[in-house]
Amino acid sequence: MSEDPVSDLPGVDDVGEESMFNTADIVVFVLFVVGLVVFFFYKKYQESTTVTIKPISLQQLKTGIIESGLDIVKRMNDSGKRMVVFYGSQTGTAEEFATRLCKEARYYGISAMSADPIEYDIETLKELKEVEDHIAVFLMATYGEGEPTDNAVQFHEFIKNEETELHGLNYAVFGLGNTTYEHYNKMGKDTDELLEKRGATRLSELGLGDDDGNIEDDYMNWRESFWADVCKRFGVFKSEDNLHIRNYKLVEHENMHTSKVFKGEMGYLGSYGNQKPPYDTKNPFMADLTVNYNLCSEESDRVVFHCEVDVSKARIKYEPGDHIAIYPENNSSMVEQLGKRLAIDLDQVISLDCIDEFSSKKNPFPCPTTFRTALTHYVDICTPPRSNVIKDLAQYATDENEKAFLLKLSSNEGKSQYNDWVMKDQRHILQILEDTPSLQPPIDYLLELLPRLQARYYSIASSPKIHARSIHVCAALVRYKTRAGRPAEGVCTGWLEKMIPSETDQFKIPVFVRRNQKFRLPRRATVPIIMIGPGTGLAPFRGFIQHRAAIVREGRECGENLLFFGCRHEKMDFIYEDELKEFEKEGIIQLYTAFSRDTDKKVYVQHLMEQEALKLWELLEKGAHVYVCGDAKKMARDVHKQLLDIIQEYGKMDKTEAETYVIGLENSFRYQKDVWS
């Protein structure tokens, strides 16, 4: 073989010794030049189309919340706004208050916009001082145990950053919380304090709303002082000329194809028929409800559902401790009665279009849709309406006595009467219409005023280690008679009760999973856990126990698992009894039960803790994690007090030292709560 491999190739002639390049060299050179040219133009193209991608934080990855980058200042300047009301909302109340505050701003000659912080590049808040005489209001709800709502996570991280500078920003804060929770109104307090630390100027004192008391009163009182401070600072005054201002106009559609009409979808037209991940608050998965039965005996006056939804087609991942969100439907009979009472064609296709062309919220709910769908899926018709709704509706009462009565309910002088007749009697909008026969508001205005129907969250009662294809729910039916003697029921549980799947009857429900990073099993399975969950507070612990049972059955080492469970009657209300006793028989759990109505002296879970105090202390000293789930108002407080007593007695500590010990447990995620009021 020749030393020049190219010359041995067929079709290549020998090249004379005087040639500097052979044919192969020329080919390589040409390819090199072409490559350079391509690289040069590609580089130029890259430079001209480069998009700066901001880093994604760990919190964003956990929550799935990624900023969309809208410029706050540009939006305000383009739309001629000088006031922006940000809301951190989980259940819709803060968003509702934001809408009201923006509407009220018009009475003072101020153009305002509400803003969901998740939709904006929150960094542009630094430049808000460029807007002359601007006002930034923050209505911040606290979620769970002192956490920001999902849509306020980024904002909270932004103001916590010590490098954030907000000099020249004029602000006011109203917090929404619940005194039954340990970290009452933490987000409202944090926001007010951190904004001041970052150099912003407080326009009005912090307001705190208590949902366990009367958050409407709290908001009204704060709002009065807020507007008084705004008038004093900016020299504006209130005008009553535009007392009833509309945000949306009604458009009726004729002969619109059903494919263009929303039928209950939360964000994307046709998404219920063409399901695509990821599944979240605006794109829930339509899951098959495969199992639904009552866990209590027939003798019990309580109903607790065990439901199973099939998520195999969605490939939804979950962990024990997570929540499943369910979008319910309003009672169909109530919807029909509202349609009849307001004399409307429920199947008329309509849109409610925002009058403000610059508003980021073009419709109050997905449109176009029908009146029936709006009343069934999108607006809350069961919660007693707030006083501002009654005030705006009063103008449509033709009877002067009824009009005067409604106006009084919505006035400062009528607060106690509003609390009595509306709140304590639990009157929803249909009952108010029934009790004031001359009241005949336009249906579109009613839809504008009513708050959005929210998803209901339930602790997941299963483990993916055993039930990877389904998610289990344990929920108590809410049904009672109001003080006025009228029947009432929970929107979601009343809806679920009617759906019993069979071969002939099949049901789908819209769901998504909300991660709960603050209620997690220890990473190491050998760490002991103490679970305290009476009633349906057992739900997440069923998932915990299944998870650890799977580990034991795999032949792996597992720490001790103590469960303190309570209910009224062992024979009637002991949910998952057979399953728990089987786990106990296997040695997977140590079960402690309290049946409060089966003994002369009522015994609750905190009393069981007292009986096992030494064992609990020894486990705490070994690194055990403590979990509490259930009622926040009484049970969680009693359990917390009992835990402090145990630590004081067996840890030989005084009260202050015991409290410091508990704070240490909380900070190291060894004391976690999933409670509700």
CA distances from 626 to 568, 622, 629, 659 (A): 23, 12, 10, 15
- Residues belonging to the active site: 459, 629, 674, 676
Q: Which residue has the tokens 């559609």?
A: 253
Q: Three-state SS across 33-74? A: HHHHHHHHHHHHHHHHHCCCCCCCCHHHHHHCCCCCCECHHH
Q: Return the number of other C-beta atoms located less than 10 Å from residue 299's C-beta.
A: 9
Question: Between 153-160 and 186-197, two packed helices, what is the crossing angle to 10 degrees?
Answer: 40
Tokens of 79: 């739309």
Burial classification of residue 18, based on how many CB atoms lie within 10 Å of its CB (0-12 exposed, 13-18 middle, 19 or more buried): exposed
d(CA 342, CA 73): 42
Q: Return the number of other C-beta atoms located less than 10 Å from residue 548's C-beta.
A: 24
d(CA 6, CA 485): 101
Q: Return the number of other C-beta atoms located less than 10 Å from residue 315's C-beta.
A: 11
d(CA 89, CA 490): 21
Q: For residue 41, is it left (φ>0), alpha (ψ between -120 and 50) or beta?
A: alpha
CA distances from 366 to 67, 123, 263, 339, 452 (A): 22, 29, 9, 20, 11
Query: Are 262 and 369 contacting, i.e. CB atoms less than 8 angstroms apart?
Result: yes
CA distances from 321 to 83, 497, 515, 534, 563 (A): 40, 24, 8, 16, 15
What's CA 417's distance to the chain center, in Å? Answer: 32
Residue type, 564: F
What's CA 240's distance to the chain center, in Å? Answer: 36
- Residue 586 neighbours by CB under 8 Å, 6+ apart: 549, 552
DSSP 140-160: EEEETTTEEPGGGHHHHHHHH
Could you give the angle at the alpha carbon of 207 between the alpha carbons of 203 and 210, nearest 5°?
165
CA distances from 34 to 30, 44, 45, 76 (A): 6, 16, 16, 50
